[in-house]
């Protein structure tokens, strides 16, 4: 039976900069489909996963564009809602000379933030195996937090794997102040967590103590990224790391989402229920993380979000180079 992958959260428009950074140069922006959970859904679909996007966009030109793009990349949109009560979210993404990003969001409120707990359907979780994925952009107010936790509860009741990418965007939070207690509580509901060292440093004075606490509270696998440094992974009994390959970086916009898409695809392939994650061997986990690293590395060699995400053939070719 195919393992279902549900990615919940925002689909939005990324207006990507042309990279003009010198005085006198005019910065222009090109429209791309984006939003971290939507990117993850596309990443998983391109690899061959049974990928679904769960969330809400505006019933506007941008919302219909996003729906069409998701479907064009093989993502199922039967769980995607549209509303006329708010517009589709926008993000303007500027790049520096190294390809690193800065964000300016137009999202308060936007259609994705109006998704409610009662908008979840238990029918979405009827598959015997599945992976439910969220990130912290659906925690920035109490209502969308409640909806996120409802999705997690439904996934757990179905014995699905719960995946979390911390993906912290401080400028999405009121007064640029992250509710760290809320994020940590949500993070520790997961079976699998992916976070960067920078993000954990916002949440706690000792990131490694927070990882240990999370494992003690039931997280089965904690994956830690740190820019171009090795990706580290932790379980309650073991730890390891995977080197990141040297590549020609053009755009890091979707690198983390490509990584997570690869991670979810592999978790689905390995079983797609909570017991399968808890019983992963050290060798299996190392190979899963290595695959995810290859997905992220391949994506940064191309511009944009969806267009940069690799298919299985591209990832396998990248793996042979490392």
| Residue 127 pLDDT > 90 | no
Q: 243: which residues sit within 8 A by CB, 6+ positions away?
A: 230, 293, 322
Structure tokens at 186: 């949500």
List beta partners, residue 166.
none
The angle subtended at Cα 249 by Cα 245 and Cα 252, nearest 5°, is 100
How far is residue 55's CA from residue 107's CA, in Å, rounded to a whole number?
Answer: 14
How far is residue 149's CA from residue 83's CA, in Å, rounded to a whole number?
Answer: 21
Among all chains, which residue has been given the structure tokens 């993906």? Answer: 167
Over residues 267-281, the mean pLDDT reads 93
Query: pLDDT at position 1, please?
Result: 58
Q: The dihedral of CA 257, 258, 259, 263: what is its sign? A: positive
| Residue 18 pLDDT > 80 | no
Over residues 169-196, the mean pLDDT reads 96
* Residue among 197, 201, 196 nearest 178 (CA): 201
Over residues 44-65, the mean pLDDT reads 98
Cβ atoms of 115 and 144 within 8 Å: the answer is yes
pLDDT > 70: what percent of the chain? 96
Please give the backbone phi and psi of residue 152, each rounded to the nearest 5 degrees, phi first: -65, -45
Q: What is the residue extent of each domain of the chain? A: 4-21+29-320
How far is residue 5's CA from residue 192's CA, in Å, rounded to a whole number?
Answer: 14
| Residue 168 pLDDT > 80 | yes
| Residue 267 pLDDT > 80 | yes
Which pLDDT tens digit goes with each residue over 199-247? 999 999 999 999 999 999 999 999 999 988 999 999 999 999 999 998 9
**255/104: higher pLDDT:** 255
The SS3 call for residue 290 is: helix
* Residue among 49, 51, 50 nearest 41 (CA): 51
Compute the mean pLDDT over every residue in the chain, rounded to the nearest whole number.
Answer: 93
Cβ atoms of 162 and 191 within 8 Å: the answer is yes
pTM over 0.85: yes
Cβ atoms of 7 and 35 within 8 Å: the answer is no
Cβ atoms of 250 and 303 within 8 Å: the answer is yes
How far is residue 201's CA from residue 198's CA, in Å, rounded to a whole number?
Answer: 5
How far is residue 155's CA from residue 133's CA, in Å, rounded to a whole number?
Answer: 10
Q: How confident is the model at residue 97 (pLDDT cuts 50, 70, 90)?
A: low
Over residues 272-301, the mean pLDDT reads 95
Over residues 83-103, the mean pLDDT reads 83
* Residue among 189, 115, 123, 196 nearest 152 (CA): 189
List beta partners, residue 232.
224, 241
Dihedral in degrees, nearest 10, Cα atoms 153, 155, 158, 159: -100
How far is residue 313's CA from residue 295's CA, in Å, rounded to a whole number?
Answer: 11
Dihedral in degrees, nearest 10, Cα atoms 78, 277, 202, 53: -10
Cβ atoms of 48 and 22 within 8 Å: the answer is no
Query: pLDDT at position 178, please?
Result: 97
Over residues 107-124, the mean pLDDT reads 94
* Residue among 305, 299, 216 nearest 32 (CA): 305
Assign domain 4-21+29-320 to its CATH superfamily. Ribokinase (3.40.1190.20)
């Amino acid at each position: 039976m195919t393992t279902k992958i549900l990615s919940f959260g925002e689909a939005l428009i990324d207006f990507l900069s042309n990279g003009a950074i010198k005085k006198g140069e005019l910065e222009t922006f090109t429209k791309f489909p984006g939003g971290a959970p939507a990117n993850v859904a596309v990443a998983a679909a391109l690899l061959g996963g049974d990928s679904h996007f769960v969330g809400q966009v505006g019933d506007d030109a941008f919302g219909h564009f996003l729906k069409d793009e998701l479907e064009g990349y093989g993502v199922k949109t039967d769980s995607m809602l549209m509303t006329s009560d708010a517009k589709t979210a926008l993000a303007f993404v500027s790049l520096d000379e190294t390809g690193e990003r800065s964000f300016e969001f137009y999202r308060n409120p936007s259609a994705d933030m109006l998704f409610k707990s009662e908008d979840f359907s238990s029918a979405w979780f009827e598959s015997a195996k599945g992976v439910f994925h969220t990130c912290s952009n659906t925690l920035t107010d109490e209502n969308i937090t409640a909806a996120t936790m409802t999705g997690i509860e439904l996934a757990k009741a179905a014995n699905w794997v719960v995946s979390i990418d911390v993906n912290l965007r401080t400028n999405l939070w009121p007064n640029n102040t992250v509710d760290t207690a809320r994020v940590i509580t949500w993070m520790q509901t997961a079976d699998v967590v992916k976070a960067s060292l920078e993000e954990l440093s916002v949440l706690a004075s000792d990131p490694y103590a927070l990882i240990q606490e999370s494992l003690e509270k039931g997280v089965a696998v904690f994956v830690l990224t740190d820019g171009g440094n090795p990706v580290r992974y932790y379980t309650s009994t073991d730890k390891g790391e995977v080197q990141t390959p040297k590549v020609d970086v053009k755009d890091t916009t979707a690198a983390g989402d490509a990584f997570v898409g690869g991670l979810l695809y592999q978790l689905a392939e390995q079983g797609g229920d909570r017991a399968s994650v808890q019983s992963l061997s050290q060798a299996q986990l190392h190979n899963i993380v290595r695959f995810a690293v290859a997905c992220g590395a391949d994506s940064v060699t191309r511009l944009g979000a969806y267009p940069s995400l690799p298919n299985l053939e591209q990832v396998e070719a990248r793996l042979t180079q490392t």
